[in-house]
A and B are shown apart, each in its own frame.
Chain A
Amino acid sequence: MARSKAASSKKQQKQRGVDFKKIKRKLGRKLKPSKNATNTEIKSKAIVLPEQSVASEKAGLAVSKKGLTLKELLQQTSHHNVKVRKDALLGIKDLFQRYPAELKLHRYVVIEKLRERISDDDKVVRETLYQLLKSVIFPACKEDNQGQFVSLMMAYIFNAMTHLAFDVRLMAFKFFDLVVQYYPPSFSLYAEKILQNYEDILRKNQCYLQDKGKLKSTFAGLVRCLSLLPCNKRNIETCEKTFSGQGILHAFEPDVPTESAGFSPIIKKLKDLVPVLVNCFQEFIPLVHSMLLLDTQSFDCMHYILQSIDHAVGFFIYGIRKGKPSLHGGPDGAIWDQTISSVLLKRFFNMFPLNATHNLSEKFDDRFFILNILIAEIFLQYSEWIYPPAVLLEKFLEFIEDALLGKICSDTRSSKAVWGKHVLSLLPFIPKLIRQVASDWKFRLLQAFTMTFEDCSPESSLKLACLSAMEEMLVPTDEMVCPDASYPLFEHQIIWIRALPVLLILLDDKHPSSTQVVLHLLLRLGQRACMNSSFAREYDNIQYSLSKFYSSCQEGGEICYGPFVRLPRDSQELSICGLYYFSYLDQLSLKSIASCCLRPELEPFVLFRIIEVLHSSFNDGHIQIADHMSFFVTLLSRFKVFPENIYPAVENDVKISNRGTFKSLTNAVCSCLSQMGDDSLVFQILEKVILDQLLSQPPLDNACAMLRMLVSQDSKPSRLSEQSISALSKYLSGYLIDVVHCIPEDDDDTTESARIQTCCYYFLPCFFLFDRSHKLVKLVLMVMGSLITESTAPLSQNYIQYAMDRSNRINAMVSTLLLMHKDAKLQKIISLFKVETVHILQIIHSLQSSENANMNIEERHKIQCACDRLKTITGVMQ
């Protein structure tokens, strides 16, 4: 080939030589090669050699889309060509996204290589690196030992921060922001240096207005860093309170980096930084005034600057607090450098309020409002420590009042939302402010605060913030004050307290966390309400509006349950605890609570808590004895036991039956009664109420519970009056027969014992009564005898509810007698009344003979059986 080429070029030269003369040549012929020409043809065959280098073997290795391995990519990151570097970074991103395990293995190597690119000259490369770190590497390395990881990077970041190119420096701050985002402790490790760098860049830089976009991210980073500093706000105290209930009791404190050690250099640096920030902010002011619109960029910058100052001031105050516990001391300006104080006072606060010179649209109004609120917040933080000059204070107070009243904002929805969001940050300062300012301002601020509280919607976070501010004013933690009518806040406190129950009902069960806060505040109020103060009276009055929270009785006797029954258990417990602190509970409240208790869906736990708390309240004399007793009687007589049929087997299954709950309720009530003290007095009150209830024929379970209640207060011999004994005998005869009738008999032997046990539960109170009053036994037996012959017509005066059929009735009666006879103690008593027993037998006999014709065979058989069983008893009797 080379040869022919050479030949053709030769010919061309020749052509030129003869002046474009065309030479004809014969086609298809070639000059023969000269004979002495060397054959330069090279023939080759492919030689296959086994691969020798491992590095280039890519089969088993992770490769990027372009087929490059990690090592190659890393090498390419330091390539002199910008595009190659960028592609390499993209390749690494791609590779790690495909093979996350690679990153875990090689993360230190990777970061060691990549960090060199932090101060890369090209913007695109830096940006790519930022994206790579942000989206892939940092999220993946979150759990690992980040300290080492970060320390590898920091040297390069610092280097970049002092780079000559302004862009690189800005980017370095962005990188640092990223580091802090993923590893917050890194700020405190390098705080001094970082703050120095921030100060430098902000001081030297003269091109704010051009590079607002870039500076914005720098400011954002600064805000993030400063927000990591401990500050003066309340959230720190609350997060300390959370504790782990699991741990060992005497555990060592976990090793956290001790904060306070490194504070003093930070404070020093911050002191330098704050004036610089104020300068920056000032430079924006002419812009604000000159320009028609406050554009988003500069607004954001200003916003960030203010936030940074806010954090810094918060940190100063925290430092002062920490150095001098509030126990001993007035304002101590040790940390408040004079310069800072004067910078803030003379230059910064004088800018307030920022106002648009032109009439702008509401959006920009909102922006100014947000900035002003932030300045006010800084001012309030500042004034907590150093009392500001009166003129300034006046200016701010006016603003705060207007802000609280919502005068500044327009009425559109969006600006309302902005208002709510930002007024929120002022509220925590209100209690302290009110304590400090003069009385006329006190009044105005309280007025405004109360307005804010009343106007905001119940579920908003503004309401919550108001509540916590109220809590601070109502129940201060560090003072022992009993608020009273003379107290300056009293008038407003009353308004707040009255608003609380209404709020509770408004919240319903939709916002359990807010409800919890309100209930907690109510409980604290109750605990602090000193006896006989007007404050306590106000608290007592809450119960009237609070009764709707439990339940209310509507016209027509229908019960309308309040939010209480639907709340989670811990809220329910809190509200129950609040009941204890009323210095008296009136009937209406007790009634509404009682109807809550009777709601079948109510958890038994809550029911028992209510009884417990009310009983201790009674013990302290907060509930009248008659009210308390009628509360108990109501519970036991109205409680709906389901299912109505008594099956011993299913009793313990909570889903099917609440009979078990009712039994323990009965026990609880009885034990409360027995703790009341004077038994005979209690018995006197109970006797009449219970007899009235019994004669109205409640279900058997309720009757049994009431009998038990009666017995628990009775003594031997019985305290029952003659009159009630005769009334009771009528009732008891019916009751006993019904019990036996209602507990279904079974042929199975195993269930038989369970049946007897169940019967005994219902019989036991009667047995006690019989033991205490023999007269009652006699009367009951006599009534039983008369019941046999009595007609089954519903008009007749007996207390049988279930065993209507005559044969069944006789059968049940005999079973009752048998059961009584089985009990050792009762056996003795019954044997004293042989005459009456025999009388019953005689009546049955006569019935058999007289009405034999009217009965069918089954009936006859039943009666005969009963008769036989009764005979065995009478036979045994002496």
Chain B
Amino acid sequence: MEKMDLIIASSSIAEAGVGCWDLDSGAEQLRYKSCASTPHGLTCVGQRFIASSQLREPSATSGSVLYWSWIKPQAAVKSFPSEPIKPFVSNSVGTYIVGGGQSGDIYLWEVETGRLIKKWHAHYRAVTCLVFSSDDSLLISGSEDGCVRVWSLITVCDDYESQRASHLYEYSLTEHTLCVTDIVIGQGGYNAIIISASEDRTCKVWSLSHGRLLRNIVFPSVIDAIVLDPAEHVFYAGSRDGNIYIAALSAESSSSSSYGKHILSSLYDHSKAVTCLAYSIEGNLLLSGSEDGMVRIWDPRTLNIVRMFKHGKGPVNNILVVRRPNFLTLGAFSNSHGSSRRHGSLLPPPLEKYVNMDKDANKMGVIRLPTACNILPNVPFNSSHILDEHVKLVEQQGSSAANEMEVERLKLENRKAMHMVQQWKKMYGNLHEFCVNEFLKGDDKGNID
């Protein structure tokens, strides 16, 4: 089978742009120009195009978000949100984009129209990372104030609900003492685990269902990036001392590790600080980006480097592993391939700056992007608790309807029974008459005899 994964990496220095390599062959693809992305600020929207929020001066009054289509190196669409956006992610199908602002606000845009659906004050200080849960129903945000918050997008968008409650978030996890640097969430719907890394040199493992701290792991250095092993046995933590530590989750951990409790071993390649990590499930490879501008690819089983890409001089601060869009698989970007041109260049409008209040209420439906990938996007899962709520609702409604039906049925039965009673009465009357007649006849006969 043909390997489909592409690596996309960006840097905080604009000249390096966005690098793009084939994971299997190592061949460099098109390089997208002039991108100084923020940490956690690069995303691939529904495999259709690349988007990134740009580093701005802290004093800047507006942010900047750029879109690149797959086939053109120049940024195609530029938007300027009302403040510098730091982390920037889209959900897995690419319907929504979420950005976290310098002031602690979170912005939720609809991709296809560029409409700013919701903006809410989420943190006291700048948002540093944003992650969607595996079913896209929850959003987890980390902030400079050391706080990790879990948001249910349904609650957030529900105006009625959000006005009633004293707070919007589901959980506010406030154990970190310094800026949160990275967050990952595991599989398993509502029973997943969240891992957050912080500048206080710790990673904390939380339970999503209880909002409770499960484990606290202290590292020898600040952890800037974490990524989960697909089986969730361990997680990899890229630190500022250049090591990638392997920390135990469900794996057995001996207490006598040289690095500290729960830390099993480390990957080291004399590099500078590790700034970002990614995991390719298809190739079972670990990818790390470093301060020295290199992207290293590791085999997590042997702990050896498999391949290295030179991204540029500046520090790499984002790596993504994405599935290759199908129009890119057929050779190069041939102009003759009409559909590729159409697919590639069709970009949605820029993101709006403000929430537009006087939009038509009836235009609230979700607008999905035309699919640009070679596999049909999976139907989004609803998380179990929403399903439960639905089921309960249906049950409640259903039971009242059923009651009515039951009443109808009973009425019908009653009518039938009444009918039957009538018939029996009639029959009894007939019989009685018959008997009396017979008796009288007999008497008559006797009299005659």
Contact = CB atoms under 8 A, between A and B. Distances in A.
Q: Do A and B associate with each other?
A: yes
B124 interface: yes
Interface string B202-225: 000100000011111000001000
B87 to A, nearest CB: 15
Contact of B167 (A248, A479, A671): A479
B125 A523 contact: no
A150 B66 CA distance: 72
A574 interface: yes
Contacts of A54: none
A527 interface: yes
A243 B212 CA distance: 9
Interface string A504-537: 0000000000000000000100011111000000
B121 A480 contact: yes
B177 A245 contact: no
Contacts of A612: 199, 222, 240
Interface in B103-157: 103-104, 121, 124-125, 144-147
A243 B213 contact: yes
Given A250-B250, A480-B167, A675-B291, A613 B214 contact: no
Contacts of B201: 609
A527 B146 contact: yes
Given A327-B165, A528-B124, A580 B250 contact: no
A340 interface: no
Contacts of B144: 620
A527 B250 contact: no
A328 interface: yes
Contacts of A581: 145
Interface residues of B, number: 37
B342 interface: no
B166 interface: yes
B23 to A, nearest CB: 29
Interface string A243-261: 1010011100000000000
A432 to B, nearest CB: 13
Contacts of A248: 250
A780 B205 CA distance: 57
Interface string B78-102: 0000000000000000000000000
Nearest to A621: B58
A249 B214 contact: yes
A205 B202 CA distance: 62
Contacts of A528: 124, 145
A574 B177 contact: yes
B50 interface: no
A555 interface: no
Interface string B252-292: 00000000010000000000110000000000000000010
A467 to B, nearest CB: 17
A580 B193 contact: no
A477 B214 contact: no
Contact of A249 (B146, B167, B193, B272): B193
B214 A479 contact: no
B269 to A, nearest CB: 16
A818 interface: no
A282 interface: no
Interface in A706-761: none
B172 interface: yes
A477 B172 contact: yes
Contacts of A527: 124-125, 145-147
Nearest to A327: B165
Nearest to A579: B178
A125 interface: no
Given A574-B177, A577-B200, A245 B166 contact: no
B164 interface: yes
B145 to A, nearest CB: 4
A858 interface: no
B250 A249 contact: yes
Contact of A478 (B103, B166, B215): B166
B402 to A, nearest CB: 28
A245 B124 contact: no
B14 interface: no
Contacts of B272: 671, 674
B179 interface: yes
Contact of A613 (B103, B199, B205): B199
A651 B237 CA distance: 31
B199 A245 contact: no
A326 B167 CA distance: 11
Contact of A577 (B58, B103, B177): B177
Contacts of A478: 166-167
A328 B165 contact: yes
Contacts of A523: 177
Contact of B215 (A245, A477, A613): A245
- Most chain-B CB neighbours within 10 Å: which of A480, A530, A574? A480
B249 interface: yes
Contacts of A620: 58, 144
Nearest to B58: A621
B178 A577 contact: yes
Interface in A466-515: 477-480, 482
A527 B167 CA distance: 18
24 contacts: A243-B213, A245-B215, A249-B205, A249-B215, A249-B250, A328-B164, A478-B167, A480-B121, A480-B124, A480-B167, A527-B125, A527-B146, A527-B147, A528-B145, A530-B125, A573-B177, A573-B200, A577-B177, A577-B178, A581-B145, A616-B179, A620-B144, A621-B58, A675-B273
Given A327-B165, A527-B125, A612-B240, 7 more contacts: A249-B205, A328-B164, A530-B124, A580-B199, A612-B222, A613-B199, A674-B272
The 5 closest A-B pairs by CB, nearest first: A527-B145, A577-B177, A528-B124, A577-B178, A478-B167
